[in-house]
Every structure is written in structure tokens, then in C-alpha cells.
Amino acid sequence: MLGDAFHCKTDLLMRTRTAVSLLLVGTAVITLGSLFKVLHWPTANIQLLLGAMLQVAALLVLAYRTVKAPHLKDLLTH
């Protein structure tokens, strides 16, 4: 019984960390895409689109986790 509660909390935490990591990667890709756009280098549009899609996916996962977490403290601890 105790192992199930620990596994559930760890699973929630790992998915939250993964979503935050995805959000940061998406931000980095958008930053590089913006640099490519300013310098008129190829593939800037693809990078901007990919970064935006990563951020949307990460924000959807974070929004879902926030709604499903019994307390916000459980979502953000550790």
C-alpha cells in the first residue's frame, strides 16, 4: 500500500520534471530559431514551429498535472 503511494507521487513528479524540461528545450529552440530568422539563415521557420509545438505540448502536460494534483504543493515539492 505504501509502495503504491510512493510510486504515484514519483510518477507525478517525473512527468512534471519532464514537462518543465520540454518547456525549456522549446524555449531554447525558439531562441535559436529567432537568431536564424534575424540572420536570414535557412530552417528558421522550422525551428520556430518546432519550438512552439514543444512549448504547447509541455504547457498542456503541466496544465493537466496541475488540475489532477490534489494540492499544488504535491506537484511542486522535491
Confidence of residue 75 (pLDDT cuts 50, 70, 90): low
* Phi, psi (rounded to 5 degrees) for 71: -140, 145
10-55: pLDDT as tens digits:
565 567 888 889 999 999 999 999 999 999 999 999 999 999 999 9
- Residue 25: strand, helix, or coil: helix
**What residues does each domain of the chain span?**
14-76
Read off the amino acid at residue 31.
Answer: T
| Of 5 and 71, the one with more pLDDT | 71
